[in-house]
Amino acid sequence: MNTRLTLPFFFTLFISSNFFAQQETSDTTVLLLEENKPKIEEQIISEYISKQRDSLKSIFNKEVEILEKQITKLDTELKEQLTPKEEITKLRNRISKVEAIQKKKDELSKGILIENYNSAILNILRLEKDIKPLELLNASREFHTSLEKASNPLEYQEFKNWLTNFRNFLEKNKSKDVIIEMVSNLINPKGELNKTQASIFFSNSLIVLGIEKFIKNLGKKRIHLKNKSQKMLQLLIILNKFDHDKSRIFYAFEELNRELEALKKLRKQTLDEIIQTTDLKRHLMEENYLNQTNEKKVYAYWGRVQDHIFTIKGKLQKDEVTHQMNTVQSLKIRFGELMFKYLENLDQYDRISKKYRDFNLIDFSELDANYKNLRSTFRDNFPAQKYINDAIRMYSVD
């Protein structure tokens, strides 16, 4: 039962009727199509595979309906008075019709399996394309860098200016007070502090004690510096707590990155297994699909892939193919779940920003901009629920 449609013809018909129906297209629409081209390619090919499966089922149902009617007719005739020879002939015909139905069921099952396998290949390639840009999630490092900067007192010019006064005080008074001497040794007046040192030093209770001594030493004569010192002490206390909360977000983010790496490893292993099973060439995949931006070449390549799978279908082992299909489906579901976790990780920022925003000491301007941009980009490019929904609908049952 060979019911395969011609892929190039199908795509030409589909594209011409859907994408080129309107001759005049706005620049915005063209840009949108360009940006979403990989998704459009996947949608077109997925719909083609779905049409293949529907076609197989439709032809099967029509052929089986004809055979079942013939069986019903034979059953009626067998109730009539027949000669032994006529009865044997009709019984043989009935058996052959039943066997024909079973054969068509087997053919349908194999046909659906092949189309489902095509769907698995398409989805593992789609995952390959989607996971690669996730390496650009390291652009989200910009957001986490903003978090680092916001929690670093040395990023605040007002604090750096105040620190000069504090260091001068330490240098002048270290010989008079052992605590001040110890603080002075921690904060070398001649050296530059880095972020790591700042995090350690300014969360140190000894440093806090030194600042308190500095504030008391100022008395009432230098009220402006005293007020600023109290403000900087409050800033350090708040930043210390903010840094602790921020570190939990960042740690969870790193955990998600490790989970993504494990997912990428399994995806590569599964694709390697499919390549070994089908003898598809990786360099051709990369050249004509993974790294290809010309949609016609993508469609043409996919046509060759389906032709190839159809050609070798007799050599494919059902257990092996089914295992690979299940793995691809599981990968896509896990990928969608991971996208939800990334979004949840980003949402944690909202919670800590609300927690500290009322203090009016931490600069949230850069953080807010990076957060909104990252979250918007993430939602637009990696729709978590869609990955899961697509995985559930990935295969058809016969």
User: CA–CA separation, 28 vs 18, rounded Å?
Assistant: 17
Q: What is the pLDDT of residue 6?
A: 41
Read out DSSP for 239-297?
Answer: HHHHHHHHHHHHHHHHHHHHHHHHHHHHHHHHHHHHHHHHT--HHHHIIIIIT---HHH
Q: Helices H, strands E: what count in the chain?
A: 15, 0
pLDDT tens profile 329-360: 999 999 999 999 988 988 888 888 888 887 77
CB 381 within 8 Å of CB 353: no
Q: ∠ at Cα 201 (195, 204), nearest 5°?
A: 140
Q: ∠ at Cα 11 (7, 17), nearest 5°?
A: 150
Read out DSSP for 49-111?
Answer: HHHHHHHHHHHHHHHHHHHHHHHHHHHHHHTS---HHHHHHHHHHHHHHHHHHHHHHHHHHHH
**Residue-averaged pLDDT of the chain:** 79
Q: What is the pLDDT of residue 388?
A: 92
CB 187 within 8 Å of CB 167: yes
Q: Note the pTM of the prediction, 2 decimals.
A: 0.73
State phi, psi for 359 to the nearest 5 degrees: -75, -20
Structure tokens at 191: 């050296």
Structure tokens at 397: 């049952």
CA atoms 266, 319, 115, 274: torsion sign: positive
Q: What is the pLDDT of residue 45?
A: 64
Longest pairwise C-alpha distance within the chain: 129
Q: How many CB atoms lie within 10 A of CB 4?
A: 16
């978590």: which residue's tokens?
384
């279908």: which residue's tokens?
313
CA 262 to chain centre: 13
User: CA–CA separation, 24 vs 21, rounded Å?
Assistant: 9
User: Pick from 120, 195, 122: which is nearest to 154 by CA?
Assistant: 195
Q: Which of 38-47, 171-180, 202-211 has the lowest mean pLDDT?
A: 38-47
Q: What is the pLDDT of residue 325?
A: 93
Residues in the chain: 398
CA atoms 75, 79, 84, 85: torsion sign: negative
Q: What is the pLDDT of residue 33?
A: 34
- Mean pLDDT value of segment 259-272: 93
Q: Which residues contact 263 (CB under 8 A, 6 or more apart)?
A: 131, 331, 334, 335, 338
Higher pLDDT, 124 or 353: 124
pLDDT tens profile 168-205: 888 888 888 888 888 887 776 555 666 566 666 666 77
Which whole-number Å values give the CA distances from 309 to 111, 144, 300, in the listed order?
11, 45, 15
In 3-state terms, what secondary structure has residue 189?
coil
pLDDT tens profile 273-299: 999 999 999 999 999 988 888 888 888
Q: What is the pLDDT of residue 270?
A: 95
